[in-house]
Each structure stands twice: as C-alpha cells, then as structure tokens.
Amino acid sequence: MSRTQRAPRLEEVATLAGVSAATVSRYINNPEVVAAATGLRIQAAIDETGYLPNLNAGALASSRSRLIATLVPDIAQSIFNDTIEAMIDELSNDGNSVMLSLTGADNNRLIAQINAALSRRVDAIILTGIVTDAETRDRLRSLPVTVIETWGLPDEPIDVAIGFSHSAAGDAMARFLRSRGYRRPHLIVPNSTRSQRRAGGFVRRWMEEGGDEPTRLEVNVPSHFGQGRLSFRALTDLPAMPDVVVCGSDWIAQGLIVEAQAAGVRVPDKLAVTGFGNLRMAGDMRPTITSVDVDGARIAREMIRVLRERAAGKTITERRIDVGSRIIARESA
C-alpha cells in the first residue's frame, strides 16, 4: 500500500468475512469468545485486506492495554532466556504485546523502568527478582496492576511471586558437598541480592554442620566467562587451597575449569567446581558441570496462568508459588 492509499477499515473485514463489525471487534479483543470457524474466516479477511486493528481503541473499551512489561537484569548469557522466550510466545498468542526492559544491577534504573511501564498503563509488570526498595513495593501494591515477581520468593509478595528460595538452594548445595566429603569450600559470589542469599544459605548450613566459615570472592554482575578465569588465579592468594569452588553461575564455573585445566589442575581430582543455572553448556563441558537447576519453563507457565486468570476476573488465592530447585550432580564435583 502506498502512502496515499487509505488503510483498510474494520467494516471491510466484516463484509469479507460475512459477519458484523461487532463480531470482528470481539474477535480482535478476545478471540476465545468467537466460534473457531468464524475466527478463521475473520483472520483470513484480516490477512487478505492487511487490516491493522486499533489496539488503543480496544484498550479504552475494555480497560485493558494488552501490554505486558517484562523487566530483566540482562539477556546476554542469561539464565532467564528460556523463561522469557516461553512467556513471550504464550503472551503473544493471547493477543498481548510484551515490552522487554533491561534493568542491569542498578536499583535506580529498575525503579525508572517500573515508572516507565506504569506510565504506559501496562496490564502487568513481570519482575525478575525482588524489588528491595520499600517505597516502590508499597506504591506497586496500591495500584490496580498485576505484579509478578519471579526467580525469588519473598515472604510478602507485592502481588504474586513465582520462584524459589535462593537461601534454600544454597543450603542444599552445602549439604550436597558435605555428603561428597568436601571440607574447604570457596565461594565466588556475584554482587546481586539473589546470589548473596544463596551464599548466605550455604554459609549458615556449612557452619551449622561444623565446618569453618568458607572463604569468598565477590564479583560484579552480570556473570561472564572471564570472571571464572580471573577467580581461579585469585585462589593463589588464599591461606589454603580450597577443595571445592562454589560458583554463582555456570559461566563463572566454566571459566574457572578452563583456567584450572590450563594450569594443570585436574577437575575434580585436585579441585571440584559447581555452578548455578544449569545452562546447556554445563552438560556440554568436559568435565560436565555440577549445577543447580531451576525450572524456568514452569515459571513461565505459572506466569501465564496467573495472567489469564487475572484477565478473566478470577481471584488469585496462591500468592507464593514455589517451583523449587534441584542439584544436577555431574563430573565436576
């Protein structure tokens, strides 16, 4: 269509599909309420005419923008990617548009992105992690917008939380490593709330079981391969060589293993290594990496269920949905 041509109108789609304009409008705003055969005719007419629905008009009529804001720290080498992809596919199939924003590790940037989403009158805000700013949490609670916190499990969610206890994941890793006979752990901890909570859970369990307080090294976020290589070199500065290094991500674990092997240190014979996230490469490495697995696909499914029920006007009774985590024992530890 040239710039001077008129855009196709709703009435033209209705005529071509053999239905009323109101039926076409209902199909666009809520496809489920239209019979399947009728929906196919309407969609074929939309495709043939090139009609583009006025979603703003539909939002005004239904009080729904069909815009979902998804806020994640990063997507490069991220453990969140599977969840994001699964969620966006399902939301798009439901007729929603997804606004993806990268917040980084800066709390001020996170708050700014939340405010930007609210200014666009989004139907829902999906957060990766937990908002720690009390004023922002209180503000979100006071607004008529669905807020889903993921990959964390606060005691008092803003609205709904779908995730797991990072402290419990750290606790489980401490018990696992003690059962394997390791006694001198060293922690590499990314500077994020999630990683700090896992480290805290690990340390508490480790010392309750009679172990000495583990040594630790804190690194910046997001995690990456190079941090693992540098972290291995830093082991020489420790009072005693650890027998296991607990890494805050699989990327750090991979870099550390590569650097250890280059230095002639066999993993796990001389040094065991664990990661977090159970990325695909954790199973592709040699040695394969022992890691903590979180069911990101289930997090996405639970998010979609909550959003659909909320859109249908149903009451969400379960505000904390624990998907748990599990240790995948492999060759590196």
- The ranges assigned to domains in the chain are 10-61, 64-164+296-324, 166-293
| Closest by Cα among 222, 190, 220 to 102 | 222
Please name the fold of domain 166-293. Rossmann fold (3.40.50)
Residue 41 in contact with residue 24, Cβ under 8 Å?
A: no
Please, what is the Cα angle at 141 between 137 and 147, to 5 degrees?
85
User: Which CATH topology does 64-164+296-324 take?
Assistant: Rossmann fold (3.40.50)
- Asked if residue 154 has a cis previous peptide bond (ω within 30° of 0), the answer is no
Is residue 181 helix, strand or coil? coil
Structure-block tokens of residue 275: 């990661």
Report the mean per-residue pLDDT for the chain.
Answer: 89
Contacts of 203 (CB under 8 A, 6+ apart): 170, 174, 187, 213, 214
DSSP output for 311-325: HTT------EEE---
Domains 64-164+296-324 and 166-293 share a fold: yes
SS3 content of the chain, % helix, strand, coil (to 5): 45, 15, 40
pLDDT at 5: 52
Nearest to 252 by CA among 280, 224, 230, 278: 224
Angle subtended at Cα 163 by Cα 194 and Cα 185, rounded to the nearest 5 degrees: 40
Give yes or no for a contact between 152 and 175, defined as CB atoms under 8 angstroms apart: no
pLDDT, one tens digit for every residue, the chain (333 residues): 433 456 678 889 999 999 998 898 888 877 878 899 999 999 999 888 878 766 555 544 445 668 899 998 877 666 777 778 878 888 887 778 888 888 877 778 888 889 888 888 889 999 987 788 888 999 899 888 999 999 989 999 999 999 999 999 999 999 999 999 999 999 999 998 889 999 999 999 999 999 999 999 999 988 889 999 999 999 989 999 999 999 999 999 999 999 999 999 999 999 999 999 999 999 999 999 999 999 988 998 999 999 999 988 898 999 999 999 999 999 999
Helices 21-29, 10-17: crossing angle, 10 deg rounding: 100
The answer to whether 199 and 186 have CB atoms below 8 angstroms apart is no
Consecutive H or E run containing 7: none
Q: Kindly report, residue by residue over 168-219, the tens digit of the pLDDT.
A: 999 999 999 999 999 999 999 999 888 999 999 999 999 999 999 999 999 9
pTM: 0.78
pLDDT of residue 77: 60
CATH topology of domain 10-61: 434 Repressor (Amino-terminal Domain) (1.10.260)
Specify the pLDDT at position 189.
Answer: 97
Which helix (H) or strand (E) element contains residue 203? helix 193-208
Beta carbons of 318 and 281 less than 8 angstroms apart: no
Residues recorded for the chain = 333
